A and B are shown apart, each in its own frame.
Chain A
């Protein structure tokens, strides 16, 4: 039963900019966004229980809840938690394949398995989330060892923002990778929310 409390979107901080921008652009005022810390991206085993805690905290405050995480390296554990909690999520294996589009992502990975993907958020917070998050700020000589099998950094750009592009280019340079930018907009998120929540995209 709808009570006018709207729908809560639980999403990863790493795609917060994309989701907020999409919701605003489409005027979806009944959608409310709460993000989990982006650093969980680096410790996916912690994601399922963090999502569960968010669901429990929000229970009763909204008419509906939707999780905008993909499996994101949880190996099906996120789905197990969501089944227990009776909440559904957008599909996909990684947020990158939803952003890039699943067919396109599969093609990119088949073409070049050594593709390292970043969103705008990850590009802007590269030092904190990637270098410091992996402990590579203390052992910069290990960057080459860690990324030696990668060949390119693919920046999945929500908009053509020169500042974010510069951050992403710097990240590629730090890792010694070829830089590529793909303008992907909000990827498959709007279509999913249109169908799931009965909304219309602008």
Chain B
């Protein structure tokens, strides 16, 4: 013991002088260092503690969103027009991929076997994403995988770190391409959309409606996103369930559209386009609107040529097809022709007649002798000749004028002849302005308000518009003046007037229902998945301002057109049809002259139930459009449940 205790007392050991160090410095150091740490802790735990607590929470609570089932779309008879399907995609999360180049390349090669994408392409996309610091975002490398591919991928992905099979909600449009313009399609969000939608609570991989009903009724169709929150440890294992919220499926839309009618009309239009017996050759574009004149329910809205809207979901595999569609600059297949404007031709004469009657330039009994042409003496006594489309050679009142679609009668009604007959107004310009204002009352020059995007307002010209438009490069000085010829052109729906088939249908509906402008709508009812009605689209009507008496005169003229006049081929056996043909001249792209063919009418005459408007870009109204309209009406009267 003692050797350990006091054994080395003296020799060899260090000298033992009295200690003299100042230990205050040491005490200060201890206090100072702990003070520094304590101050730092106050900052971290007390001042910023709540923020760290939030980050800790975020760290380990992961919320997995569950996308809702998108609402269905049914036709008026409850026939489904779309199906919800799962779209299988192969995704890569670059961050999770193995570090080594070799291991990565083995994965890329395996992916080539499984889903058929080139390893170089995948590599390029992964490298690009990592270089841009987006390694934490999934890259979709193949989509629309078949069930077999998806299964194989799911199995193999166990050994491929960073590769996953993703199932996103998709749509299968089952009713046929003739519904594409109405239904639209869904697709991934664009970068700009994502910004707005993200704020609205959308998940980044959630598809959105891109066009048609899918886009217009996005809010109804989407439903509410659900989630599944769980606690996750640092290895990514889920530990405990924290909370869940079931997604709420989207609402079902019941359309006014009749599926079979729509298919029938589309087929009919396509067949008639191919018919080359007319003098102008085959048509390239056609559209038709079938609607209820009293409620605005659209039974059918067809635009030809159309496209298969399933193409967008499979754009990678059908790229060539998509490319061809989007570069077709002759017929623009994606454009809904029922909502795109063209010169309305003689269908516009209904407006001219109504304006004449209301403004007093004609009365129901005013009649003129109409020959082959109208001669108007202009300035300097120059005689201008305005030929009608045929030599009528008879006395005409407004009824026969409509029935035979007399240009001269409408010219006199709208613009007068500057001598004996007074037009709508005291001079050329006021006449035009008055006619334009009546056109607007009938819904021209503005959108109809249908529940679809992309509607064109068409155009109603007037002297002010011409003054503003016909100036500048390419125009002679004074060319922007309004001439009598401009009024005449407008009176018969030529020149600068442009209207969409839907606007023509709406105007026709106003005549059919006794003078009320109706807002067309595709969707009738929004229904919750359990069948509860969310809302019903009610008819919206506004008065055009034409008296019942005069509307009746115009109706008589339209009845005459089908019974004995220019629209005789619009007659059917199932009901009495009233109609109006239209043949509008236009210049084709190559500069040659051609004509648009129109027919718009309603049936039954006594108690109108349906309005039909048919348009072909090339053809003669009475020959091309009227027979098609007749078939549609016949079909409608016999088959459509109203």
Answer whether A and B are interacting partners. no
Report which B residues bind A (CB closer than 8 A): none
Report which A residues bind B (CB closer than 8 A): none
